[in-house]
Amino acid sequence: MAASPADGNQFAKALKKYMITGILVWLPVMVTIWVITYIVGAADQLVNILPARWQPQALFGFKIPGLGLLAALIVVFCTGILAANVLGRKLIAGWDSLMGRIPVVKSIYSSVKKVSESLLSDSRQSFKTPVLVPFPQPNIWTVGFVSGHIPESIIEELAQTNPQENTAYISVYVPTTPNPTGGYYVMVRTSDVRPLDMSVDEALKYVISLGMVQPEEMPHPQQPQLPLAEHTPDKPL
């Protein structure tokens, strides 16, 4: 007896369901393995800077995977120890001064240095507060991150836009989706900013996943405080 079209449709739906389920299981595993393999492989290239007779393959007769990554971690750790003392800070200051004198290189080096300091330093306010901001126009909202303080010269210019009002502004980075490394830097009135009751990791996952990965419902003790750039007409800037 021939199979009915309904049975064929059910089989196709079941096949599609199980294939998608299998992909959802294996895709994050394979991507994670690929990323880790790429990082370890790239770090292993560091051993190539050693003289040929000092390389692991010459010493032990075989290649040791991950040795370059271990060497990179040791170098980074030792650099951190060196940079934490007075002599290390002077050496780094001299290196920064040298890099700042080289055309083209100084622009790239200084920009990367400032961004990395903003992202990794605990003393900064950058990227520690997820917020909702109206972007790219009023009544359309998107997720952004507080990105530090606004320079005084810009505060003065912003104050001229509303000289009769006591208006405060905040600088916000609005990431693009699904690649958050690109985005827009905007200065928004604090009255238009809505702090989000979620962590930075939760907000980033929400942005990267196109809104499909919902943040966990976790109670937070208090709303984060936003750094303000405020101008009042009756007090000097």
One pLDDT digit (tens) per residue for the chain, 237 residues: 555 666 768 888 888 888 888 888 888 788 888 877 777 777 777 767 767 777 766 667 667 666 777 777 887 888 888 888 888 888 888 888 888 888 887 788 877 777 666 666 554 445 668 899 998 888 899 999 988 778 888 888 887 777 666 678 888 889 888 777 778 888 888 888 898 888 888 888 888 887 787 776 544 444 445 555 544 444 443
Does 120 reside within a domain? no
Number of Cβ within 10 Å of residue 219's Cβ equals 5
- What's the rounded Cα separation, in Å, for the pair 169 and 127? 16
Residue 154: domain span: 130-231
What is the SS3 assignment for 154? Answer: helix
Structural domain includes residue 209 = yes
134 assigned to some structural domain: yes
- ∠ Cα 214 188 143 (to 5°): 10
Task: Compute the half-sphere exposure of residue 230: CA atoms within 13 Å on the CB side of its CA.
Answer: 9
In a domain, 168, yes or no: yes
**Looking at the domain assignment, is residue 10 inside a domain?**
no
pTM: 0.50
Which segments of 81-210 are extended strands (E)? 130-134, 141-146, 167-175, 183-189, 194-195
Total domains in the fold of the chain:
1
In a domain, 69, yes or no: no
The answer as to whether 152 is a domain residue is yes
